[in-house]
Structure 1
């Protein structure tokens, strides 16, 4: 089966906005990562620096930087006689990466419990209020935004750049898993809210072990909900 030519990417990618404050390399990386997650650049698609640079309206250098990072993330691969192509990411790999992300998110929560500033806790409370309103309104778009801010704040509070980069790379696979799955139903939303509230309560107590356990449990549960991980076996009492 022949794949579409690399130049087909021109019709799928919008040029980068000039006013964006991020570096060109970072912006190209995020745009290409999101295009892979959303299927605009599907698995097996051959891509080239030149065609991507033309599509994004930038030079080849930041695209080269972005592709290097995507290859480190495992989202693109370089194959003999084919060049750079979008990687095939199967269900088993998504499950493995999901478990790794759950562990790292737990470590991030533990570190944050020790390092969060008072202003950070206030910001988390404000995000929880938005999550509560979004849950009551069943506004999944608002909840997605609040969820991203919630985790990003915890990541920043760790002040550990290696951890922040590692979790950031893995979150792309989380988005890929959610994009492929049916996703949460309205009845799952209150459960997610309670989990976020429990994480914040552990952070307020400055309890690293509890924060880590609650965060890890939350991530694993969300992976099950989104079909990335299988549901755990029921115990004898049906729980």
Structure 2
């Protein structure tokens, strides 16, 4: 996920050819600019100046800002206009827990609905994850991870769930940018978790698939500093 920058550090114009609508493209470009800090928290933003930067009319920018406000990434204040919202660590933690729950639900639905062809694609992605893990290739792992989760989301066939997870993933990237993040020693654990998720999907076991995905997301949030380490429950061994 990357918002292209111009030489002056401004948001680059949208590419001319794209199958997505202008509003969707503007939304994604501005969302990525916020996540990457190109549009930092507290920055006042102008619909007109953004339209000029993106090389489009004001209407799709207006649509994009409306969606970003619904996502909580921008706010409009009386007599102050529209600005990039400050996302506190507490809010990031809350949204992380929500994402873990929704990712679990999506994986449970995928266990019921994913066909053999999609499972074969997941198996191929796992091979790329193994290669990336062995090579400590962070970029390759990030790309494979995004494809892995996107395939599971699509398998649900639920547009609301897909849109909701898409919005929450922006906050996941924001949390990772602020945190130290994973190190190579964490990669084998993530690979094992992905393998366990695929195994549950192949078994067509919704409960197991949901539990494994939720545990995977929560563990990654702890690793990236979004959530604090969980303390052992009373009566349970540490």
Find the counterpart in structure 1 of residue 4 from structure 2: none
Matches within 5 A, 1:1-239: 11-234=9-232, 239=238
Give distance in 2, aligned partners of 1:185 and 1:219: 16
- For residues 14-36 of structure 1, what are the alpha-carbon distances to aligned partners after superposition, in whole Å with 9 as ceiling and x for unaligned? 11101122111111111100000
Runs of at least 5 residues in structure 2 that lack an aligned partner in the other structure: 1-7
| RMSD across aligned positions (CA) | 1.3
Task: Give 1:237 deviation, angstroms.
Answer: 8.3
Matched residue pairs, number?
230
- For residues 100-138 of structure 1, what are the alpha-carbon distances to aligned partners after superposition, in whole Å with 9 as ceiling and x for unaligned? 000000000000000001110000001000000000000
Give distance in 2, aligned partners of 1:159 and 1:237: 38
Give distance in 2, aligned partners of 1:192 and 1:222: 8
Runs of at least 5 residues in structure 1 that lack an aligned partner in the other structure: 1-9
Using the size of structure 2 for normalisation, the TM-score is 0.94
- For residues 24-61 of structure 1, what are the alpha-carbon distances to aligned partners after superposition, in whole Å with 9 as ceiling and x for unaligned? 11111111000000000000000011000000001111
* Partner-residue secondary structure (3-state), 1:233: coil
**2:129, 2:141 within 8 Å by CA — same for their partners in 1?**
yes
Task: Give 1:234 deviation, angstroms.
Answer: 4.4
Task: Give 1:11 deviation, angstroms.
Answer: 4.2
Give distance in 1, aligned partners of 2:69 and 2:32: 14
Find the counterpart in structure 2 of residue 7 from structure 1: none
**2:9, 2:38 within 8 Å by CA — same for their partners in 1?**
no
**2:103, 2:165 within 8 Å by CA — same for their partners in 1?**
yes
Give distance in 1, aligned partners of 2:123 and 2:26: 33
**2:42, 2:85 within 8 Å by CA — same for their partners in 1?**
yes
**1:11, 1:55 within 8 Å by CA — same for their partners in 2?**
no
Using the size of structure 1 for normalisation, the TM-score is 0.94
Give distance in 1, aligned partners of 2:49 and 2:150: 32
- For residues 155-176 of structure 1, what are the alpha-carbon distances to aligned partners after superposition, in whole Å with 9 as ceiling and x for unaligned? 0000000000111111110000
